[in-house]
A and B are shown apart, each in its own frame.
Chain A
């Protein structure tokens, strides 16, 4: 350990100026132990992993095509026409859930990636460079936050047209202010530290200070927000799909499945039950994981 830190400080003048090294993530082994010994982390993280794996290997897990219409197999109970039954077009519900996971995960991951990148860059710059960058960027965030999210999404999608890319872009833009605000307030606090002053004094450029001095220290709240934002992004995506403003009808999507099957709910509740269960569980898993990450990464933020 000592050896590596000496090496690092020779290469990196900023780190050598740091009087107290930034709290780093502990070793991979500690993280693995945390994962395995915490029941709530194990359950929520395990479920998310399972979902990612089944989305990746959808064609291995199920041989049936999620969009194959079978007129003779309409509205079958679980076990007939597929593991979980069929919908009103005779399509295999299990296959639709597994392929729907692909869409949900791609949309939520891409949109949260966009919003975290944009938000962190904008929030850090606003705090670091001060006025007028500060005023412009933070007022912009206020303006976006003053619309109820789904309303703004509906508004924009109705002009852009509904497609996977548009849904990703809209959700990405809508959630940018959340990351921006967190990055902003954390940067304001972190940049008061002496080591940032030292880095400025030895002439480090702003980009370098932001990347090496500030970013590692504001990482914890951003990771937590990432997990929580995944949950809300999934809620928003499924809500838009439910309204018919998500991806085109031929793409398997949980929200749209629920909307279509809800008309047959009295005689065949399964078409609503399975996607409902899977959406709720997924969002719940991301929320639980976010809470657990918060407890682990930043005890000050803990909800006690």
Chain B
């Protein structure tokens, strides 16, 4: 276990280092001069002196390796840089924005698992009846419909037609908890549909795979009830691949929340990213991409390590 942990930690650190470097290189080696963009692009026709002044202020006139070392150094100190646009610290803004996105993602993951797993179990158990094709088609539709379609459908039904929920917006749960819930319900449901469908499919196929194995026949032969066979034996063994998929869904959630935050006008980390892109606020864009990728990598790391703890086959692989 120790050796596995060390190996996995090293490869995670290498991966994080790669990500940091790739993000840096993307920003600095791609065509387009941030100084030029800040001054309004070629159309605005900025003077040479203006460009030189902005480049100096941003530190872009220094050699590439100095900028790289500087960026690595400030990252290690926890400094994510300052916005070009309003000179605020990116870390401060992220600190207020990130929890709001998490308030959508966390409940959405829980909802997806709470509904997706039982649906998968039911579909696998009643394979021969009409229940399975019904649930399976629902799942297939669930991950074929884009989030902006399901989101707009919910808005149309529950806000525009029925008038039960506000169409979009955000209030802090500390100020008005009921108002917060009313606004969060639709984004959370929208976000959870795809992952719910994937969880369901994974649970179903994993259960079916286990049900065909010899130990299940043995369990039945020694007279265990169907309930005990299913939930004490099959389900336990079937869960491992399901939990991996659920962990991977966090990444998918971040992807989905980009669109969901736009539709529901939710001031989370993704809408911050989109506004920063539209005003070419590169340090902010860079920092957000980095933070989200880091969260994603760390979740994968924790998943792998916890599996290795439960399943000795993995760490000897």
Interface residues of A (CB under 8 A from B): 139, 142-143, 146-152, 154-156, 158-160, 231, 235, 238-239, 242-243, 255, 258-259, 262, 265-266, 269, 272, 276, 279-280, 283-284, 287-288, 291, 303-304
Our pick among A147, A242, A280 for the contact of B296 (Cβ within 8 Å) is: A147
CA distance A219 to B237 in the complex (A): 31
> What 1/0 flags go to B189-213 for Cβ under 8 Å of A?
0000000000001001100110010
Tell me if B30 is interfacial: C-beta within 8 Å of chain A: yes
User: Contact size class for B?
Assistant: 35 or more
Residues of B within 8 A of A279 (CB): 146, 149
Given known A146-B19, A243-B274, A265-B155, contact A284–B160 (CB-CB < 8 A): no
CB nearest neighbor in B for A281: B144
A-contacting 9-mer, from B1-9, B51-59, B285-293 = B285-293
15 new A-B contacts at CB < 8 Å, known A152-B289, A154-B258, A255-B148: A147-B19, A148-B292, A149-B255, A151-B258, A155-B285, A158-B285, A235-B146, A243-B258, A258-B148, A265-B155, A272-B156, A280-B145, A283-B146, A291-B140, A303-B205
Tell whether, in the assembled complex, residue A143 and residue B148 are in contact, meaning their CB atoms are under 8 Å apart: no
Q: Which of A150, A158, A272 has the most CB of B within 10 A?
A: A158
> What 1/0 flags go to B125-165 for Cβ under 8 Å of A?
00000000000000011011111110011011000100000
Interface residues of B (CB under 8 A from A): 14-15, 18-19, 22-23, 26-27, 30, 32, 140-141, 143-149, 152-153, 155-156, 160, 201, 204-205, 208-209, 212, 251-252, 254-255, 258-259, 262-263, 273-274, 277, 280, 285, 289, 292-293, 296-297, 300
Q: Which of A151, A255, A284 has the most CB of B within 10 A?
A: A151
Residues of A within 8 A of B15 (CB): 139, 142-143, 146
CB nearest neighbor in A for B27: A159
Given known A151-B255, A159-B30, contact A243–B156 (CB-CB < 8 A): no
CB nearest neighbor in B for A142: B15
B264 nearest CB across to chain A (Å): 12
Residues of B within 8 A of A280 (CB): 141, 144-146, 149
Tell whether, in the assembled complex, residue A150 and residue B149 are in contact, meaning their CB atoms are under 8 Å apart: no
Tell whether, in the assembled complex, residue B149 and residue A147 are in contact, meaning their CB atoms are under 8 Å apart: no
CB nearest neighbor in B for A258: B148
Tally inter-chain residue pairs, CB-CB below 8 A.
120
CA distance A303 to B289 in the complex (A): 35
Q: Is the interface of A mostly helix, strand, loop or mixed?
A: helix
Tell whether, in the assembled complex, residue A304 and residue B152 are in contact, meaning their CB atoms are under 8 Å apart: no
CB nearest neighbor in B for A231: B144
Tell whether, in the assembled complex, residue B156 and residue A239 are in contact, meaning their CB atoms are under 8 Å apart: no
Q: Which of B143, B152, B153 has the most CB of A within 10 A?
A: B152
Residues of B within 8 A of A149 (CB): 255
A203 nearest CB across to chain B (Å): 34
Nearest 3 A/B pairs, CB to CB: A304-B208, A284-B144, A148-B255
CA distance A255 to B146 in the complex (A): 10
B305 nearest CB across to chain A (Å): 16
Tell whether, in the assembled complex, residue A265 and residue B148 are in contact, meaning their CB atoms are under 8 Å apart: no
Given known A146-B297, A284-B140, contact A242–B32 (CB-CB < 8 A): no
Residues of A within 8 A of B148 (CB): 238-239, 242, 255, 258-259
B197 nearest CB across to chain A (Å): 10
Given known A143-B18, A262-B152, contact A154–B277 (CB-CB < 8 A): yes
CA distance A212 to B144 in the complex (A): 36
Residues of B within 8 A of A239 (CB): 146-148, 258-259
Tell whether, in the assembled complex, residue B160 and residue A265 are in contact, meaning their CB atoms are under 8 Å apart: yes
Tell whether, in the assembled complex, residue B300 and residue A146 are in contact, meaning their CB atoms are under 8 Å apart: yes
